[in-house]
Structure 1
Amino acid sequence: MRRIVVYGVTGSGKSTLAARVGERLGIPYHSIDDLTWRPGWVPKSDQEQRDLIRALLAGDEWVIDAGYAIWMDLVLERADLIVGLDMPRWVSYTRLVRRTVGNIVHKRAICNGNYETWRLALLSRDSMLYFHIGSFRRKQARMRLWQASPEFPETVLLHSPAEAERWLDGLKVG
């Protein structure tokens, strides 16, 4: 278990859990948002993302915190474990709202120095708040399919923050 992807809907706690998994196991953690966004909220091209992710996944050890559809096939080929954050919608949406407001109010830089704004959060078609609503069921179904099918890497679904904590506490170091 040295190649791990933490997957879930926006706001589910992927980045936080992935960083903690990497720290606990001594495996490099890679923030996917930092790898796929340029300053000014300019996304890297699909091919550039695929090339970057392919190179990252070639390593023997990694923890990543997402799985964008344009390159998820690469992750599924290499991952030893998928940790799916299959939390109730209210948990992830509440976390997302809290994080978004905090980032705006405290002017915290995210994703290569980008900043969230009220306009981006509330009025933009690219709003993470809207994206969450539109992607929740699709991502939930995808995680459940992975867990149910032997064709995919081992998949652990965590259904609450407390369950995620217990799972993390139970990870064997080394």
Structure 2
Amino acid sequence: MSAPRRILIYGVTGAGKTTAAIRIGERLGLPVVLADEIGWLPGWTNRPLDEQIAMAESAAAGDAWVFDSAYATWKDRVHPLADLVIGLDYPRWFSLQRVTRRALHRVITRQELFAGNRETWRQLLSRDSIVLWHFRSWKRKRRTMRAWVDDGSGPPVLLFRRARELERWIDDL
């Protein structure tokens, strides 16, 4: 198989999708599309859905890209166009410790994220916490990845169950 030119990374919250997308993009010389930059405006305001869809469709129309994820509301605009889907199907404990550690680091360092947003203690402890989102979305995202593998009619899926497997795969690109 020749190197894929359109890659969708999909996985549970905290799996490391963005880091993987950036590394793969650098390795293959492909532009990286960050889902959170499509989804969020300053002040943690959701971008209007029609704008998200238009942005995702525009990026997906390109001949080469790595999406670091695809929101449920527009993944059907990106997924069918992918040459390859990389599923990060890691154990809950692994992705949970990653998302928790990352969120704490961002709160403490006041790291600026997409659209100038920053995570705060209040947000981390609220109903909108990224850690709680992990619990709300984990089963659904796993089911989606596994359904894509079982279906077989869409783009090929590489399902990684351990971060080391993904690291080796990227190193071999």
Match for residue 42 of structure 1? Answer: 45
CA deviations 1:121-140 (Å, max 9, x no partner) are 112x2211111001111111
TM-score normalised to structure 1 length: 0.95
User: 1:139 maps to which residue?
Assistant: 141
| CA shift for structure 1 position 147 | 1.1
Q: Flag the structure with higher helix content.
A: 2
In the alignment, residue 156 of structure 1 is paired with which amino acid? L
Moved more, 94-103 or 75-84: 75-84
Q: Secondary structure at the match of 1:84?
A: strand
Instruction: Specify the alignment match of 1:54 in structure 2.
Output: 57
Q: Give the SS at the match of 1:40.
A: helix
1:106 aligned residue: 109
Q: 1:35 offset after TM fit, Å?
A: 2.3
What is the CA distance between 1:30 and its match in structure 2? 1.5
Alignment root-mean-square deviation, CA? 0.9
Q: Distance in 2 between matches of 1:132 and 1:79?
A: 25
Residue identity matched to 2:168: R
Residue 94 of structure 1 corresponds to which residue in structure 2?
Answer: 97
Q: How many corresponding residue pairs?
A: 170
The DSSP-based 3-state class of the residue aligned with 1:129 is helix
Give the equivalent residue in structure 2 for 1:170: 172
The runs of at least 4 aligned residues of structure 1 exceeding 2 Å deviation read: none
Does the 8 A contact of 2:86 with 2:157 survive in 1? yes
Return the match for 1:6 from 6, 9, 12: 9
Contiguous gaps of at least 5 residues in structure 2: none
Structure 1 position 10, deviation (Å): 1.1
CA distance in 1, matches of 2:170, 2:118: 30
Q: What residue identity is the alignment partner of 1:149? A: D
TM-score, structure 2 normalization: 0.95
**SS in structure 2 of the partner of residue 151 of structure 1:** coil
SS in 2 for 1:69: coil
